[in-house]
Chain A
Amino acid sequence: DTGVSQNPRHKITKRGQNVTFRCDPISEHNRLYWYRQTLGQGPEFLTYFQNEAQLEKSRLLSDRFSAERPKGSFSTLEIQRTEQGDSAMYLCASSSPGGTGANVLTFGAGSRLTVL
C-alpha cells in the first residue's frame, strides 16, 4: 500500500472557477477525512465519511464546498465559484478504528490551491 494519495498536488485557478480534488485512501481504511490548512495554522476539519456515508460536515464549510465518496473508496472535494480566501492546502486523511476504538489519521501529501 502506498498510503493516502491526493491529486492534483498543485492547482492554480482564477477566482470564480470550480476546482475538484481527488483522494485515494489506504485501501483497508473505512474512514476518510478532508482538512484544510493555511500557512502557520494547524489542519482545520472540513468533513468525514465512513464508507460512503458523510457523517459530519463542519459548520465552517460553505455551500460552495461539496464532498463525495461514491462506493466508499476514493473521495472528491469540489469547490465551486472559488474565492481568494479558499487558497490553502487541502489535506485528505484516512483511518480505521484501532484496538482502543480511537481513529488515528494517516494524511496524504495534500493538494495546494491558489486562487488568483
Chain B
Amino acid sequence: QQPVQSPQAVILREGEDAVINCSSSKALYSVHWYRQKHGEAPVFLMILLKGGEQKGHDKISASFNEKKQQSSLYLTASQLSYSGTYFCGTDPPNGGSQGNLIFGKGTKLSVKP
C-alpha cells in the first residue's frame, strides 16, 4: 500500500526545474505533499483531493490524476531553500482523509548554487 516515489534523489542547479512523482496501487482519496529538511519536522506543502485538480504554492505546484492513481509535484525555477526530502502521503484504502497517512520513502532534492 505504500506509495512509490520517483526519483529517489535529484540534484539541481539553482533555477532548474524538477518533477517528483508519487504512484499508488490503490484508489486514492487525496494526496498530501510534505517537505522535510535535515533534522527538522516535515512541513506541509499542499493537499490534492480526487478530481484531477492542480494546486500551486509559490513556484511549487502539483497535480493529481485519480484514474492513474498518481500525483506529481512540480518545482519551477528551484531555489536553494527547496533542498530537502519530499514525501507524498496517501490515505489508507478505507477512504476519507483522516490524517492517518501512508508515506512514500521520499525524494531527496539537492539544489546547488
A43 cross-chain contacts in B, Cβ below 8 A? 42, 87, 89, 101, 103
| Contact B40 A109, beta carbon cutoff 8 Å | yes
A56 cross-chain contacts in B, Cβ below 8 A? 98, 100
Chain A residue with the shortest CB-CB distance to B87: A42
| Contact B99 A42, beta carbon cutoff 8 Å | no
| Contact A101 B41, beta carbon cutoff 8 Å | no
B23 within 8 A of A: no
| Contact A93 B105, beta carbon cutoff 8 Å | no
| Contact B103 A100, beta carbon cutoff 8 Å | no
The size of the chain B interface, using a CB distance under 8 A, is 23
A108 and B40 alpha carbons, distance in the complex (Å): 9
Number of A-B residue pairs with CB-CB distance less than 8 Å in the complex they form: 65
Within 8 A of A (CB), among B27-53: 30, 32, 34, 40-44, 47, 49
| Contact A48 B43, beta carbon cutoff 8 Å | no
A107 and B44 alpha carbons, distance in the complex (Å): 9
A42 and B41 alpha carbons, distance in the complex (Å): 11
Per-residue B-contact encoding for A98-116, CB less than 8 Å = 1, 0 else: 0011111111111000000
A102 and B99 alpha carbons, distance in the complex (Å): 8
Chain A residue with the shortest CB-CB distance to B99: A103
User: Which one of A40, A44, A102, A108 lies within 8 Å of B47 (CB-CB)?
Assistant: A102
Hey, which bits of chain B sit against chain A, CB under 8 A?
30, 32, 34, 40-44, 47, 49, 87, 89, 96-106
22 pairs, A vs B, C-beta closer than 8 Å: A31-B98, A33-B99, A33-B100, A41-B106, A42-B104, A43-B89, A45-B101, A56-B98, A56-B100, A93-B99, A100-B47, A100-B49, A100-B97, A101-B97, A102-B30, A102-B47, A103-B97, A105-B99, A105-B101, A107-B41, A107-B43, A109-B41
Assuming A31-B98, A104-B32, what are 16 further A-B pairs, CB within 8 angstroms?
Answer: A33-B99, A33-B100, A43-B103, A100-B47, A102-B97, A103-B97, A104-B44, A104-B99, A105-B32, A105-B34, A105-B44, A105-B99, A106-B44, A107-B34, A109-B40, A109-B41
